[in-house]
Chain A
Amino acid sequence: METTLPERRERGGLSQGDLAEAVGVTRQTINAIERDRYDPSLELAFKLADYFDCRIEDLFEPELNGE
C-alpha cells in the first residue's frame, strides 16, 4: 500500500519515534508502514489521518487488482 506518510511526517519535522509516540505505536511500526512492509489496522490508519488532519485516502493508496 503506497503511503504519503514519510513526506507528511518530514514536513511536520517529526522523527519516526515522535510520530510513533503520538499515535501510540512503536517506531518500528511507523518504519514498517513507511517502507510498505506493514499495512496498519483501520484504527491506526484513523489515528494517523486524525493526527495529520487529513483523510485516510490522502495517507494511503491501496494497490487494488486491475488498477
Chain B
Amino acid sequence: MPDTLVPTIDSPERTRKLYERLVSAVIGVAVIALLTGLAVGQQLVGAAIYLVGVWVGVALAVLIPTFSEVRFYDERDDAIYRRASGTAMGIAFVVGLSIIPVLYVLDAAGTMTITPTMWGGIYVVSALYLCWGVCYTAISRRR
C-alpha cells in the first residue's frame, strides 16, 4: 500500500452532507416563499423570492463542487444519473408514442377534442424529445 495515500477522517462525508443540506435548504426556502406568497396574496413577492432562491441554490449546487477540494460526485453518481435519465426518457417515449397518435386520430374523427391542457402536455413531451435529440446529436459528435 503506498505510504503517500494516508487515510483521512470522514470530513469529506460531512462536507457532502452539509452541501446537500445547504442547497436543499435554500431551494426549500424559495419554494416556501412562493407558496406563502400565494397564500397571503403577495404572489409577486413570493415569485421574486422564489426566483432568487432557486438561482442562488443552483449557483451553490454548481459552484461549490467546482471550487471545493472535496469530491461531491463520482462515476457511480454519473451512472445513476444516466440510468435515471434513460428510464425517464424511455417512459416519456412509450407514453407519448402510445397516446399522442391516438389523441390526434380521435380528435380528427370528432370523437373527442384535444383540450388546451392536453395540447400543453403534447408540446411539453415534443419539446423534451426535441431537446434530447439536439443534446444527443451534439454529444455523440464529440465522442
Judging by beta carbons under 8 Å apart, are A22 and B5 in contact?
yes
Interface of B toward A, CB cutoff 8 Å = 1-2, 5, 7-10, 12-13, 16, 71-77, 79
Query: Complex formed: what's the CA distance from A25 to B74 in Å?
Result: 6
- With beta carbons under 8 angstroms apart, the residue of A14, A27, A40, A51 that contacts B75 is A40
Asked if A21 is at the interface of the complex by the 8 Å CB criterion, the answer is yes
Q: Which residues from chain A contact B73 at a C-beta distance below 8 Å? A: 26
Judging by beta carbons under 8 Å apart, are A26 and B16 in contact?
yes
Query: Complex formed: what's the CA distance from A44 to B12 in Å?
Result: 19
Q: Which residues from chain A contact B5 at a C-beta distance below 8 Å? A: 22, 51
- With beta carbons under 8 angstroms apart, the residue of B12, B13, B16, B79 that contacts A38 is B79
Judging by beta carbons under 8 Å apart, are B7 and A14 in contact?
yes
A22-B5, A51-B2, A52-B1 known; A32 and B76 CB under 8 Å? yes
Judging by beta carbons under 8 Å apart, are B7 and A18 in contact?
yes
Asked if A15 is at the interface of the complex by the 8 Å CB criterion, the answer is yes
What's the interface size class on A, roughly?
Answer: 20 to 34
Judging by beta carbons under 8 Å apart, are A44 and B7 in contact?
no
Closest-CB distance, B89 to chain A (whole angstroms): 22
Q: Which residues from chain A contact B76 at a C-beta distance below 8 Å? A: 25-26, 28-29, 32, 38
Q: Which residues from chain B contact A25 at a C-beta distance below 8 Å? A: 71, 74-76
Closest-CB distance, A30 to chain B (whole angstroms): 9
Closest-CB distance, B77 to chain A (whole angstroms): 7
Judging by beta carbons under 8 Å apart, are B12 and A21 in contact?
yes
- With beta carbons under 8 angstroms apart, the residue of B10, B13, B75 that contacts A44 is B75
A12-B1, A18-B7 known; A24 and B12 CB under 8 Å? no
Judging by beta carbons under 8 Å apart, are B1 and A53 in contact?
yes
Asked if A41 is at the interface of the complex by the 8 Å CB criterion, the answer is yes
Query: Complex formed: what's the CA distance from A1 to B76 in Å?
Result: 15
Q: Which residues from chain A contact B75 at a C-beta distance below 8 Å? A: 25, 29, 40-41, 43-44
